[in-house]
Chains A and B, each alone.
Chain A
Amino acid sequence: MSHRELDDMLGTRWRKPHFVPNPVLRWAFIAGFVAYLIAAFATIEVDWGRVYEGLDRGWQFILAFTKPDFVSRAGDIWEGLLESIVMTVAASVVGILISIPIGLGAARNIAPLPVYVICRGIVAVSRALQEIIVAILLVAIFGFGPLAGFLTLSFATIGFLSKLLAEDIEAMDRVQAEAIKASGAKWMQWINYGVQPQVMPRLIGLSMYRIDINFRESAILGLVGAGGIGATLNTAFDRYEYDTAAAILILIIGIVMALEYLSGLIRARVQ
């Protein structure tokens, strides 16, 4: 701020600076936003009568959380939950194992250009397709069951983990890696002693985070027939068995919280 400006401003009231300094741009932005909101609200059809009727059921559902029913469908819940966990574990293991070489290939500082382009392509495809759409296609191809869910989660893990691993490798300290290379290490030894120790803490942290995400996703894959607790949950909603649905949701939240706590502990230890 120049002195002249400061002199002019002396004695005048201070105003908060605006978030977007250019007034034309600011007002255009606000006007566009208001116009969009009006258009959006005008096109949403809300059946308020139906909503009003539903409030009662909504209240019942909230009440169901105070007395969840774990017992009457215990068999189905247990089966579905076990399948979800099994899918999560298997898919996380396979996904992490595959994403390490792809992550190495997608790091520009250690991979040659052709490998880099191919690996980045795999990452881009895997990230652009959502789990549920991949699951629909895989169910159509491989049939119903946890195999489709397992493949979906593995595929999604590859995109997530490879990208973040590659970014971490690209940001690593070159000096350490060069020191190992200068001692006459082969490529594998170079990766093992020069690169791996630098990225390992982050890789473990990201893997834990991905296991957490995989479990959450495995809870919905059942909606399209790819195995897991989602099918049980869907049935519970369809039959208006809110107490069972509440029990399942409480279990999911509990497991996610436990996983998050565990991954927090592990991440704190390795970092």
Chain B
Amino acid sequence: MPVLDKQGAQIWRRRTQGETLFRWFGWLIGAAVFVVCWQRISESTTWFFVWDAPRIANDIWTRATPPRWEYITQLGRPIWDTLNIATLGTLIALCLAVPVAFLAARNTTPSAWLVRPIALLIIVSTRSINSLIWALLLIAIIGPGVFAGVIAIAIRSIGFCAKLLYEAIEEIDQTQVEAITATGASRWQVMAYGIVPQILPAFAGVAVFRWDINIRESTVLGLVGAGGIGLQLSSSLNVLAWPQVSLILLVILVAVVISEWVSAKVRGAII
């Protein structure tokens, strides 16, 4: 602990002088980077619009309130589609994520040098690309519609589910597996009776958690044409029908809150 000796009085310091200097230098570089970034943003911004923003925001607000309540009769089908995209997408993703997770977990992978890196690559690449981009890609390939949304959500969720699952598999209690192995069980029996019961709660938790996230994501997939309530949002935005936009946003907000509530309840019941 550095103590400064100043005219006979000892003063306690948190860090040594070198450390302090190093830290200041780090902060200086950080601040410089931030200023450069801010300047770039500022250069490509039309500041006139920004100064005008309060008026525009007020204008949009007066146009958007009150929401056009009777429009809700046309939203039933899109909400059903959104629910389907999220649920079916999650189901497909879980079916694909389970084998990937078993191949990626250090203690169950058949070969740590060949198969595990491939499984990890699948996890990373599906996880790092947003579902909107997957949707964009799938629409170019299989055409717009709910089906593209389902597949986009499914692909995007594989990485997330597989990552959480393989971490759960790596954390299992090895003694239980050994006990099953000691009874003379085959590889698959060890899997079914030694490993699966241990990760089942984690699996259910991941499934519900991801379903909740997928409800959120599927509400906006329609913006690029992949079905669901986002389609209505995008067409209302295109014709500047702000009362409809505000109603759709309200519906999305309610859906998100409900799905979060359901997911919290179910996870509370399981874990």
List residues of chain A with CB under 8 Å of any chain B CB.
16, 19, 36, 40, 43-47, 50-51, 54-55, 57-58, 61, 82-83, 86-87, 89-90, 93, 128-130, 132-133, 136-137, 140-143, 145-147, 150, 216-217, 219-220, 223-224, 227, 230, 233-234, 237-238, 240, 245, 249, 252-253, 256-257, 260
CB of A233 within 8 A of CB of B130, answer: no
Residue interface mask B8-36, A partner, CB < 8 A = 1:
00000000000000000000001001100
Q: Are A57 and B141 closer than 8 Å at their CB atoms?
A: yes
B80 at the interface (CB under 8 A from A): yes
What is the bound-complex CA distance between A45 and B223, given in angstroms?
Answer: 19
Cα distance A222–B253 in the bound complex, in angstroms? 23
Task: Name the residue of chain A whose CB is nearest to the CB of B139.
Answer: A237
Tell me the complex Cα distance, A252–B127, Å. 11
Contacting pair B143 A237 (CB below 8 A): no
A-B contacts besides A44-B147, A220-B132, 8 pairs, CB < 8 Å: A44-B84, A83-B44, A90-B41, A130-B219, A142-B49, A145-B41, A146-B41, A216-B129
* Shortest Cβ distance from residue B15 to the other chain A in the assembled complex, whole angstroms: 13
Judged by a CB distance under 8 angstroms, whether B67 is at the interface is no
Given contacts A141-B56, A145-B44, A240-B140, contact A233 B133 (CB under 8 A): yes
Are the CB atoms of B143 and A47 closer together than 8 Å? Answer: yes
Bound together, the chains give a CA A146 to CA B41 distance in angstroms of 6
Q: Decide if A234 touches B136 in the complex (CB within 8 Å).
A: yes
Say yes or no for B262: interface residue by CB 8 A criterion: no
B38 CB to nearest A CB, Å: 6
In the bound complex, do residue A141 and residue B57 qualify as a contact, i.e. CB atoms below 8 Å apart?
yes
Is B162 among interface residues, defined by CB-CB distance under 8 A? no
Q: Flag B117-132 by CB within 8 Å of A: 1 or 0 each.
A: 0000000110011101
How distant is A224 from chain B, measured CB to nearest CB, in Å?
Answer: 7
Using an 8 Å CB-CB cutoff, how does the interface string of B232-252 with A read, 1 for contact, 0 for none? 000001000000000001001
Whether the Cβ atoms of A223 and B132 lie closer than 8 Å is yes
Residue of A nearest to B126 (CB): A253
Residues on B with beta carbons closer than 8 Å to the beta carbon of A256? 124, 128
Residues of B within 8 A of A (CB): 30, 33-34, 37-38, 40-42, 44-46, 49-50, 53, 56-57, 60, 80-81, 84, 87-88, 124-125, 128-130, 132-133, 136-137, 140-143, 145-147, 150, 193, 197, 200, 204, 216-217, 219-220, 223-224, 237, 249, 252-253, 256-257
> Residue B84 contacts which of A16, A43, A136, A142 (CB distance < 8 angstroms)?
A43
**CA separation between A145 and B41, bound complex, in Å?**
8
Asked if A61 and B49 sit within 8 Å, CB to CB, the answer is no
Given contacts A51-B142, A233-B133, contact A130 B57 (CB under 8 A): no
User: What CA separation (Å) do A251 and B268 show in the bound complex?
Assistant: 39
Q: Are A245 and B45 in contact (CB under 8 A)?
A: no
For B30, B45, B46, B81, the residue with the greatest tally of chain A CB atoms inside 10 Å of its CB is B45
A233 to B253, CA, bound (A): 29
* Residue of B with least CB distance to A89: B37
CA distance A129 to B42 in the complex (A): 25
Determine the chain B residues whose CB is within 8 A of the CB of A54 once the complex forms.
141-143
Residues of A within 8 A of B140 (CB): 57, 61, 237-238, 240
A141 near B60 (CB under 8 angstroms)?
Answer: yes
| Cα distance, A128 to B257, chains bound together (Å) | 7
Report A-chain residues with C-beta under 8 Å of the C-beta of B136.
223, 233-234, 237
List residues of chain B with CB within 8 A of the CB of A61: 137, 140-141
Q: Is the CB of B46 within 8 A of A44?
A: no
Some 6 contacts from A to B, beta carbons below 8 A apart, are A51-B142, A128-B257, A130-B217, A130-B220, A220-B132, A230-B133
Q: What's the Cα separation between A260 and B147 when bound, in Å?
A: 31
A83 to chain B, nearest CB (A): 7
For the complex, what is the distance from the CA of A128 to the CA of B216, rounded to whole Å?
9
Q: Using A146-B44, A220-B133, A245-B137 as known contacts, say yes or no to A47 and B145 having CB atoms under 8 A apart.
A: yes
Q: Which residue of B lies closest to A242 (CB)?
A: B140
Chain A nearest CB, measured from B124 CB (Å):
6
CB of A129, distance to nearest CB on chain B (Å): 8
> Is B143 a contact of A50 with CB atoms below 8 Å?
yes
Of chain A, the residue at the smallest CB distance from B253 is A128
Given A147-B41, A249-B129, are A141 and B53 neighbors across the interface (CB < 8 Å)? yes
**Nearest chain-B residue to A137 (Cβ)?**
B60
The interface residues of chain B lying within 8 Å CB-to-CB of A234 are 136
Name the CB-closest residue of B to A257.
B124
